[in-house]
Amino acid sequence: MLLIQGLRKRFGRLEVLRGVDLTAAPGRITALVGPNAAGKSTLIKTIIGLVRIDEGTVLIDGQSIDGERAYRERIGYMPQAARFPEQLTGREVLALVRRLRHADARIDDALIGQFDLDPMLDRPIRTLSGGTRQKLNAVVAFLFAPDMVVLDEPTGGLDPVASGILKDKLIRSAAAGTTVFLTSHILTEVEELAHDIIFLMEGRVAFQGPIDQLLREAGEPRLERAVARLMTGSR
């Protein structure tokens, strides 16, 4: 369970997050959407501990993340574009990541086989295509069977087959009780995957709730038009 209350973050004079309150529940896929410069990237970096909180509280399973590190072991993170050491092979990257975790960590490397990635793992990262790097990125995110997984534009760069494999993984993970928190500009993808949606605009939450609730309130049959109404303030 992710619970955020009164979250504020400022960079100099620019207040990026302005009192954000939100929740993301286990067993559900929650999508964070909003226009550019809404604060989505800062919010994600705050959750995974890359940005420190100015005000407010971020709790993961009831534990405050402020000043803590251990909680990160329960989170899988898939950035929009992973940056792995170029000279290492994919297999060496996975071995390095595993060595950084406890020896008794539960491993979930099923995506390697599902992506047919094994033949590519002995090649240096610098020789891999963008799509193959993104597959490796997904494998790392799920490698330790996380209680919560945070994904930033997860299907970007993936071909339709790989994209479908990853979507199925997200659905299965949520069904098994994982908290899935993702961002995507592809609203048809959000509509396909997510149970709940959080619309962030100018550093504030403009809507939070089930997708079908937003569709009803907006009087629209599709998410893209409902979100457009939120952006124009015509809901």
CA-to-CA distance for 159 and 58, rounded, in angstroms?
35
Cβ 50 vs Cβ 42: under 8 Å: no
Q: Quick one: pLDDT at residue 232?
A: 81
- Burial per residue of 71-85, b for 16 or more beta-carbon CB atoms within 10 angstroms, e otherwise: beebbbbbbeebebe
**Rounded to whole angstroms, what are the CA distances from 123 to 83, 89, 128, 138?**
16, 5, 7, 17
Q: 8 forms bridges with which residues in the sheet? A: 18, 55
Please give the average pLDDT of every successive group of 10 residues along the chain, which has 235 residues: 95 94 97 92 93 93 80 90 92 92 80 96 95 96 95 93 97 97 93 96 95 93 90 69
Predicted local confidence at residue 103, as pLDDT: 62
Instruction: Name residue 180's beta-bridge partners.
Output: 29, 149
Q: What pLDDT was estimated at residue 235?
A: 54
Please tell me the predicted confidence (pLDDT) of residue 73. 86
Q: Which two tokens stand for residue 106?
A: 């539960």
- For residue 69, the model assigns a pLDDT of 77
